[in-house]
Structure 1
Amino acid sequence: MPPKKKEAEKQAPDAKQTPKKKPASLKILIAVMALGLLGGGGFFAYSKFFAKGDLSKEAQAKPVVTKPVVKNMETFLVNLADPGGERYLKVTMQLSLNSEAASQEIDARMAELRDSVLMLLSSKEYDDISTLSGKLALKKTLMSTINRLLKQGTVQDIYFTEFLVQ
């Protein structure tokens, strides 16, 4: 019988043996899933409770941008101030205005504005407006002349749609 005892002893330790340890890859997988859930929950909480307040503050801080109003001006045809008076300038332009009120004021005061622009254009010589820098300077001068006359808004930019010197 002694041999049977050895067999029983061999089987007994197997039954009393501690359960097998879980593989390391399973522990890593559980840790990654837990971190993912915590990260997702944190992101959800931030976007739900904190981000809305930040966005509303940014929206309040930004100034309201209005769409510019473009106003067509009729063609201007003037003699240039060159000696001999043989050259003339033909200009068609559009005004970019900051408000609809400025457009209405231009309609109401068109004669006064056209007179000022005609006087300004007829005071120029060919050498003053023949270069790119001369045309840019003319734009600035026209803008300041018109803006001095306007009371309800301003001209933001001037676009030359036709510019002919002969």
Structure 2
Amino acid sequence: MSTATADVADATPPKAAGKKKLIIIVAAALLLVLAGGGTGLFLLKKSRAAAEAEAEETDGKAVAKAKLEEEKVEEKRVPPIFVPLDPFTVNLADRDAERYAQIGVTLQIEDAKVGEELKLYMPAIRNNILMLLAHKTAGELLTREGKLRLAQEIRREAMRPLGITLQLDDEDPPAAGTKKKKKKAPVDYPVKAVQFSNIIIQ
């Protein structure tokens, strides 16, 4: 009987060792599942955060673009500012007959500050425009192209006293055999345009 008890006693430890191994395996598997789930959850949260950040950035860009478009619309709505000049009466450069012109000029400008600055330089501006008109002939002023050219030249002469030089499109064409210069970015000039209120040639 003592031999049977010894056999039973020897048989019990292996069952306990088997249970321990099973518990360790189950615990390790559970730990792996929890670690995998935690990693998956972390990656999911990370990808959600990245997606939200990207969505916010896209929304931010969309909002910035919308604001920029609103500002452009507001700029377009701002009425232009005009500075009318006293009418010019000048003898023209025609050689065949005594001809003169009476021309009313209005400058379209960028803002009121430019208008105040132009008033300070008005004697020089008027002088430049009178000198320009005195070199014109009736034939030049009667054509549409001549009037458009005159408007460009008056714009240039109006900005000279301010220290701004406007290069007209057809001035100084490149010499034959030379490379064309790259187009420069458009410059924002304070005098935007020249409007004629009247042109009388006699």
**Residue 117 of structure 2 corresponds to residue 102 of structure 1:** no
Q: For 2:93, what is the secondary structure of its paired residue?
A: coil
- The whole-number CA distance in structure 2 between the counterparts of 1:113 and 1:135 is 19
**Residue 64 of structure 2 corresponds to residue 56 of structure 1:** yes
Dislocated runs of 4+, deviation >4 Å: 49-52, 61-64
CA RMSD of aligned residues (A): 2.6
1:105: Cα distance to partner?
1.1
**Partner of residue 121, structure 1:** 133
- The whole-number CA distance in structure 1 between the counterparts of 2:113 and 2:95 is 41
Structural mapping, 1:72-83, within 5 Å: 72-83=84-95
**Partner of residue 155, structure 2:** 143
Aligned length: 118
1:151: Cα distance to partner?
5.0
**Partner of residue 197, structure 2:** 161
1:121: Cα distance to partner?
0.4
Name the TM-score, length of structure 2 as normaliser.
Answer: 0.52
1:146: Cα distance to partner?
1.2
- The whole-number CA distance in structure 1 between the counterparts of 2:199 and 2:131 is 17
Q: Which consecutive unaligned segments of at least 5 residues does structure 2 have? A: 1-55, 165-188
**Partner of residue 3, structure 1:** none
**Partner of residue 18, structure 1:** none
1:163: Cα distance to partner?
0.5
- The whole-number CA distance in structure 2 between the counterparts of 1:86 and 1:59 is 58
Using the aligned pairs only, state the percent identity. Answer: 26
1:101: Cα distance to partner?
1.5
1:52: Cα distance to partner?
6.5
**Letter paired with 1:142:** I
- The whole-number CA distance in structure 1 between the counterparts of 2:190 and 2:68 is 25
Q: For 2:156, what is the secondary structure of its paired residue?
A: helix
1:108: Cα distance to partner?
1.1
The superposition leaves residues 124-144 of structure 1 with CA deviations (integer Å, 9 ceiling, x where unpaired) of: 011111101110011011111
Indicate the structure (1 or 2) with the bigger Cα radius of gyration.
Answer: 2
